[in-house]
Structure 1
Amino acid sequence: MRKSILFLAGFAIYGVLMWYYLFHGANSALPVDLKGSAADPAMFMTDRELELSTDFSRIKDFLYFISVPLEWLIYLFVLGFGLSRWFRKASSGLTKFSIVHTGVYVLLLSFASWVLTFPLKYYSFTVSKSYHISVQSFHSWMRDSLVDFWISWLLTTVMVAVMYWLIRKNEKKWWLYAWMLSIPFTIFMYFIQPVVIDPLYNDFYPLKDQVLKEKILKIADKADIPAENVYEVNMSQKTNALNAYVNGIGSNLRIVLWDTTLNKLTDNQVLFVMAHEMGHYVMNHLYWNLISSVILSFLGLWLGNMLYRKWIEKYGKSWGIKGVGDLAALPVLLLIFSLLSFAVSPVENAVSRKAERDADLYAIEMTKNPKAAVGAFQELATVSLSEVNPPKIVKWFLYGHPTMLERLHFLDSFEAIKTKETKKKQ
């Protein structure tokens, strides 16, 4: 109980400090030399939009930095108050099949976590609604949340069942075998994501605007991309935000545009966005993401195994855990993986920002229309209420893309930079 009080007190102090930093202490002032440029939000946002973008972004950032340690506290709560032992007991007497034991245990743990985090998630939803970013009904939002829950439960059950079977077979090398099995599983998930999982949330269909579609396919042909179609998705039923992306691998690779993007951007701006997504394909970013995922999973499982064994050895008895192969130790493993994922996220984001910068460069060289590129990001920032120059800690932990300030300044200065480079070569 004493430790629980200390943890809660520490969490409360952390929350207050993070709130103060984000809303009062963080410096996100625009550099003096960029005032009046295309990167200056005052040049394309109204005073009210500037105020809303700052408030909305800081609230969402604060919710993220609260939700992560809250997840850790939940795992510790489940362990410290004996809930994990109770989950194990409740699931073990149902049947002789271990996969059912695992499924029921994961269901109980997932449901407990879902209930405890629901208030924060619901508040995040209401914030998006109040700032007119989300237009999704509560019923639709709950449907998506439940789809998330059951997909996560199914995948987690399979992975946990395999991991604990391996642990019981070989306590020392289970992590290596788990990593080897994770490679085909990761590839499989990359392959089915666009055609099986994504359609569970939204309707995808070929781009309706045939003229724009021909222009996009012309760029694809110029880039030697064997694209036969471009997809749009009806996100306007849920949000006013803009987005486009490329996901999947092999024959299941898809280039996707949200219909909100089509509604808000001009054709030239859309072509820049599409050229950016094609840049990811041309530079093999999806495959590099896959490779990095495999490498990080190796390091994560290796380090996670060492921490897991030490924590079970030190705290297992007080938590009522019988050993590393005890299913009741799952919260320990999930806590360790969550901590490692959070710790490595700044590095992952830095690599991702470099890839996005390269894709921007590819797109601007392909379309040769800096004005459309700048206009696209200005519209994206305005509609999505994106903070143009977020605090450093937010950029490190949350931004897999360059900040709007960085992107707009880069694209606005592109012609000047190219002219300077040409003169140097001469």
Structure 2
Amino acid sequence: MSARRAALLVAGVLGLALVLVIALRTPWTVLAEPTGGATPVRPGAGVPAAVVDRAESFAAALRPASLASLVLGLTVSAVLALTPLGARLVRAVARPLGGGWAWQVLLGTLVLSLLGRLVTLPLSAYGEVVRHRYGLSTRSWPLWGRDVAVSTAIDAALTAVLLLALVWLARRAPRSWWAWASGGAAVLVLVGTFLYPVVVEPAFNSFQPLPAGQLRTDLLALAEESGSPAEDVLVADASRRTTALNAYVSGFGATRRIVLYDTTLDRLPDAEIESIVGHELGHVATDDYLTGTLMGALGAAAAVAALGWLLSWTPLLRRAGAESPGDPRVVPLVLFLIAVGTLVATPVQNVVSRHLEARADLHALDLTGDAQAFITMQNRLAAANLSDPAPPAAWQWFFGSHPTGPQRIAFAQDWQRLEDAG
């Protein structure tokens, strides 16, 4: 069997394994339908009309820019990958340092990543203007610039190192590089899951322990009751950047901690904070992080195997101006294929995410037993975060990682009806 066919076969097997993980670990039915049918979803119910209008206006102002940024970034990446322009750029940026293949990969990746970010920067700035206009962003422009620079630097540096390893493997093992890289991609997903809370999160927020008090005691007790003991309750200085409300659970085992946005702590009563935390603890209790990690590892491994198949197609390499997967001029093509793969995977990830989020809502309701606090909390989140109560169906299907606020409220009402019915 040729190396190209082997890569395609492995990609297919790993893709099938990914489908099985999705099928078996996604909670397709979360809650039984109450007698009399499910509660109708009523967009805007329980929220003042002015708040609904504001949320819809905010979404209408931001959505076109988001789509334009996506299309523009993909177009620029395609032009650089499928014409000689990208290959020439990779060679040119490394020439002052001798033009070695490693410098071509490292500097080429950094420059291409920076170029892609600069092209979409005006649209990102427009999005920040919109968030300021609607009171969702509190960032100063220097802080916004710093956040953009840090996130771009982290992404570009990690991508450059990974592509350096990929091209090195392709040069050392021209027939089997994709197999080694596929296994390495899966391992990196696993490692990244553990490192993200301690490496990336502190780059954007500062964290302080929640002072001793009833809320801290109740949240730690809630974690114990959920079967996911937390070591600490931290407060993130989110108000430096946003007025949005949020909380999450991060870390594993001895590093697990409950994190509250300071905006959440300031603006929500304890019962509603406990409802949010109950939801986040649900992700831990039902092993949603394990599901996400398995999906990520299998998806990354399958994608790299598919990359091995694609990069052995001579016409595609010629189109990109490269001679082989070990040629550093392949970098623009690899970046483009990663962007396309990420886009294709987005709706799949989100359909799974919406079901996992619904199950976490069920966990919060079971854990706190307080549907009214959950409903009130959802209405407050919708108002504070300017969540669109009724996004276009295609947009929600493709980009919606959570059920809409009205869907979650109807879910809580169904839960309450089932509880009342015993």
Q: Does 1:151 align with 2:150?
A: no
**1:86, distance to aligned residue in structure 2 (A):** 2.6
**SS of the residue 2:230 aligns to:** coil
Describe how 1:110-189 pairs up with structure 2 within 5 A: 110-189=113-192
Amino acid at match of 1:355: L
Are 1:381 and 2:392 counterparts?
A: no
The within-5 A match list for 1:161-310 is: 161-208=164-211, 210-310=213-313
Unaligned runs of 5+ in 1: 1-32
Measured after TM superposition, the shift of residue 110 of structure 1 is: 1.6
Q: Distance in 2 between matches of 1:65 and 1:209?
A: 45
| SS at structure 2 position matched to 1:230 | strand
Q: Deviations over 1:321-372 (max 9, x none)?
A: 2322222221211211221221122121111111111111011011011000
Q: Judging changes above 3 Å, is the alpha-carbon distance between structure 1 residues 323 and 40 closer, same or farther for their aligned structure 2 residues?
A: closer
The question of whether the paired residues in 1 share the 8 Å contact of 2:275 and 2:365 is answered with yes
Matched letter for residue 388 of structure 1: P
Q: Secondary structure at the match of 1:44?
A: coil
The separation in 2 between residues aligned to 1:336 and 1:59, in whole angstroms, is 30
Asked whether the 8 Å contact 1:94–1:101 carries over to 2, the reply is: no
2:412 — aligned with what? 411
TM-score normalised by the chain length of structure 2 = 0.85
Per-residue deviation at 1:114?
A: 1.7
Task: Using the TM superposition, give the Cα deviation of residue 209 of structure 1 relative to its aligned residue in structure 2, in angstroms.
Answer: 5.8
How far did 1:38 drift? 8.8
Offset of residue 97 of structure 1: 6.4
Q: Give the counterpart of 1:64 among 63, 66, 76.
A: 66
Give the structure, 1 or 2, with the largest relative contact order (CA under 8 Å, sep 6 or more).
Answer: 2
Q: CA deviation at 1:413?
A: 2.5
Q: Which residue of 2 aligns with 1:6?
A: none
Contact 2:94 2:100 in 1 (8 A): no
- State whether residues 166 and 178 of structure 1, in contact with CA within 8 Å, keep that contact through their aligned partners in structure 2: yes
1:52-131 superposed matches below 5 A:
52-79=54-81, 80=83, 82-92=85-95, 94-95=97-98, 98-131=101-134
Q: 1:320 is matched with which residue?
A: 321
Give the AA of the match of 2:409.
L
Aligned to 1:337: 338
Cα distance in 2, alignment partners of residues 260 and 287 from structure 1? 29
* Cα distance in 2 for residues equivalent to 1:38 and 1:405: 6
Offset of residue 298 of structure 1: 1.8
1:95 Cα deviation (Å)? 4.4
* Residue identity in the other structure for 1:308: L
Q: In 2, Cα distance between the equivalents of 1:353 and 1:84?
A: 40
Q: 1:318 Cα deviation (Å)?
A: 4.5
Residues 231, 254 of structure 2: 8 Å contact kept: no
More displaced stretch, 105-114 vs 250-259 = 250-259
Q: How far apart are 1:175 and its partner, in Å?
A: 2.1
- Check conservation: 1:38, 1:412, Cα contact below 8 A: no
Displacement of 1:252 in angstroms is 2.9
Tell me if the contact between 1:242 and 1:383 (Cα under 8 Å) persists in the aligned partners. Answer: yes
Q: Deviations over 1:170-204 (max 9, x none)?
A: 33432221121123322222222112211111111
Q: Which residue of 2 aligns with 1:369?
A: 370
| 8 A contact 1:102–1:160 mirrored in 2 | yes
TM-score of the pair, normalised by structure 1: 0.85
Contact 2:389 2:405 in 1 (8 A): yes
d(CA) in 1 for partners of 2:419 and 2:176?
A: 53
Q: Is the 1:192–1:252 Cα contact (8 Å) retained in structure 2?
A: no
Can you give the 5+ residue segments of structure 2 that lack an aligned partner in the other structure?
1-35
**Kept after mapping to 2: 8 A contact 1:163/1:178:** yes
Does the CA-based 8 Å contact 1:191-1:250 persist in structure 2? no
Give aligned-pair identity as a percent. Answer: 27
Give the superposition deviation at 1:302: 2.1
| Counterpart code for 1:232 | V
C-alpha distance in structure 2 between counterparts of 1:71 and 1:396, whole Å = 21
* Alpha-carbon offset, residue 221 of structure 1: 1.6
CA shift in 2, pair 1:40/1:393, >3 Å? closer
Paired with 2:324 and 2:103, the residues of 1 have a C-alpha distance of 20
Provide the aligned C-alpha RMSD in A: 2.3
Q: Which runs of 4+ in 1 moved over 6 A?
A: none
CA contact (8 A) 1:240 1:384 kept: yes
The alpha-carbon distance between structure 1 residues 348 and 102, as it changes in their structure 2 partners (threshold 3 A), is same
| Distance in 1, Cα, partners of 2:68 & 2:369 | 42
Q: How many residues align?
A: 385
